[in-house]
A and B are shown apart, each in its own frame.
Chain A
Amino acid sequence: MSSETPTKTPEAAAVPPSGPAPVKKVPRGHKRLLTRRDRITLGFMAGVPTVLHVALVWVTALASIALAFTSWDGIGFDSIKWVGLDNFQQLFTDNPQFWPALQHNVIWFVVLICIPTPFGLFLAVQLDKNIRFSRVYQTAFFLPVVVSLAVTGFVWQLVYNPDTGLINSLIGANKPGHYIDWIGDPHLNLWAVLIAASWRHTGYMMILYLAGLKGVDPSLREASSLDGANEWQTFKNVIFPTLRPTNTVVLVVTIIEALRAFDLVFVFNKGAQGTELLSILITNNIIGESSRIGYGSAIAVVLLVISLVVIIPYLIATFRKERSA
């Protein structure tokens, strides 16, 4: 937060600003300079967006929590019944899809962080070397990030299709009886989807790291090469440690992408056998035939809790830094 004197609204004027004591005291005159009309304008400017955001995002998130403890068929408010922890108990013990879904979300994260993320970093380091055609290579790796995940799903289906797809045609597995059903086989389909997801994630990570690498002080590199360090030593001991802020962002982005994963799987096989995800289970409760609102909300609460475990520490760190900046 800026330590410069902020212009303050009337209601805050009486309270001394928190944080480092401002050198210049806030001139009390500002309060008088803001007319009644200005204060109303400001109220609207902050109020309208806040009401919209809070009503559609946070009130619904809280409603999810409340509904998770009820049973409701969605027809009339009279049918809402308080059931306590029943939904959760059923979810954890009876639902054959829940634990696989949770496990697949974890696998999704582990794969993204272990394969496309380091590869994106590797590409970024190579492309940062001031080489010819850098922009052409960047565009090729980056194109999947621009294309919608739904379209990505359709394009990869053409690659995986058992009888007409690229892979089976190339390896000769497209004859009846010799099919490899990349999307239908429950032992293969999660990995097939993850290849498509990694295809996209690599470019995303590459661009974040390229931006991070641009911020590395060139004199560090020079000093390191003067000391006789080779490329790998320079990267390991000098460059990588300076990428810490980027690494934090990459970690958070990757976890959130793993929790949000939905489009690819929905297009591939709607999360049938082998590709279940928490997001898919929730959605199926809404657009499927059975509308079990409390039950769907209970899954949403699990997803919310996992998300908040990541989001809250990240935001605290970010905003603390900002306050002291």
Chain B
Amino acid sequence: MSTLTTTAPPPVGPGKPRAPLRPARILLHVFLAGTSLAWLAPLLWAAFAALRPYAETSDKGYVSWPDTLNFDNFKNAFTQSDMLHYFGNTLIIAVPAVLITLLLSSMVAFYVARFDFRLNIALLLVFTAGNLLPQQVIITPLYRLYLLIDLPGITMSGKLYDSALGLVLIHVAFQSGFCAFVLSNYMRMLPHELTEAALVDGASVWRMYWQIVLPLCKPAMAALGTLLSIWIYNDFFWAIVLISTGENMPITSALNNLSGQYFTDPNLVAAGALLTAIPTLIVYFVLQRQFVSGLTLGANKG
């Protein structure tokens, strides 16, 4: 199970001595620095445009020396389009979705890794395969199903369609496939004596899960939590199809509306796009280690 040993991002080994700077090495640095800069160019270009007033760029052209650089476009995008509200919408979708996904998938993983012997492979196959399907395969019936389910008083729309609850449910259902797979591998590596001793001592199954197994899974849970936060925050497709009221949209699909509304001012749209990207960038920079290890969990299999 090499998957779970890859928890650190591929760093520079501290033990290995660094080779002296040979010409080949310098050439490599020039290449990597140049390519890195080219890689960041689209984002830097967006930032450059966003920092300039539209009047100036339309007058002088976009590739020109800036007279004024300020945060007005960011301020305007933030206030005029009520972005705080849409960030809030994302928050009420993403936070429950991440937590419930982790809870439910760890429960299935616990069951599969520690108990039933006959069904576990089949169950795990169902979850894992479900997560690999393209979302569009299931969207037509799902959309109809969401329109059919009446939830008067529980959601704003009175239906599962066009509600934060609906998005939370589909995120949980879809993402729990991947998480159950990764967590069950992780739990299987924990020594069996741990739970067996607890069982003999008369601990309940729930206690075994909650107080013994779950605390030991913290590293995997942290990695998956980071990954899920970014994936669910970045979701565009479910939000586009399953939310119809602009007011209820999470930030990514709201940005789509914003850009339609302000298409005549690309600088403002650039500011809006960058503002939308900021939370994921913060999560990435703070939790880089967890994010990268999450991505490679389960990737060394097969």
A contact residues vs B (CB 8 Å cutoff): 1-2, 4-9, 11-12, 15, 17-18, 30, 33-35, 37-38, 41-42, 45-46, 48-50, 52-61, 63-64, 67, 74, 123-124, 126-144, 146-151, 154-156, 158-159, 161, 164-166, 169-170, 174, 199, 202-204, 207-208, 210-215, 245-246, 248-249, 252-253, 256, 259-260, 262-263, 266-267, 278-279, 282-283, 285-287, 293, 296-297, 300, 303-304, 307, 311-312, 314-315, 317-319, 321-323, 325
Identify which of residues 179-220 in chain B touch chain A, using a CB-to-CB cut-off of 8 Å.
180, 185, 188, 192, 195-196, 199-200, 202, 204-206, 209
Sampled A-B contacts (28; CB under 8 Å): A7-B115, A49-B107, A50-B123, A53-B173, A54-B126, A56-B142, A64-B138, A74-B144, A123-B35, A128-B10, A130-B16, A131-B25, A137-B33, A148-B233, A149-B234, A151-B273, A155-B42, A155-B273, A159-B42, A207-B296, A213-B10, A260-B135, A266-B236, A283-B237, A286-B140, A297-B140, A304-B137, A321-B301
Contact B118 A307 (CB under 8 A): no
A53–B13 CA distance with the chains assembled, in angstroms: 41
- The 6 lowest CB-CB distance pairs between A and B, nearest first, are A148-B234, A140-B36, A63-B141, A210-B10, A211-B296, A56-B173
Among A11, A41, A53, A259, contact of B206 (Cβ-Cβ < 8 Å): A41
Closest Cβ of chain A: how far from B42's Cβ, in Å?
A: 5
Contact A318 B174 (CB under 8 A): no
Chain B residues, CB < 8 A from A140: 36-37, 39-40
Identify which of residues 1-26 in chain B touch chain A, using a CB-to-CB cut-off of 8 Å.
1-2, 6, 9-13, 16, 18-19, 25
Identify which of residues 125-166 in chain B touch chain A, using a CB-to-CB cut-off of 8 Å.
125-130, 132-145, 147
Chain B residues, CB < 8 A from A53: 126-127, 130, 173, 176-177
Contact B6 A52 (CB under 8 A): no
Chain B residues, CB < 8 A from A214: 6, 10
Identify which of residues 230-268 in chain B touch chain A, using a CB-to-CB cut-off of 8 Å.
230, 233-237, 240-241, 252-253, 255-256, 259, 266
A34-B134 contact, Cβ under 8 Å, with A48-B104, A287-B240: no
Closest Cβ of chain B: how far from A48's Cβ, in Å?
A: 7
Interface of B is mostly: helix
Contact A150 B10 (CB under 8 A): no
Contact A35 B255 (CB under 8 A): no
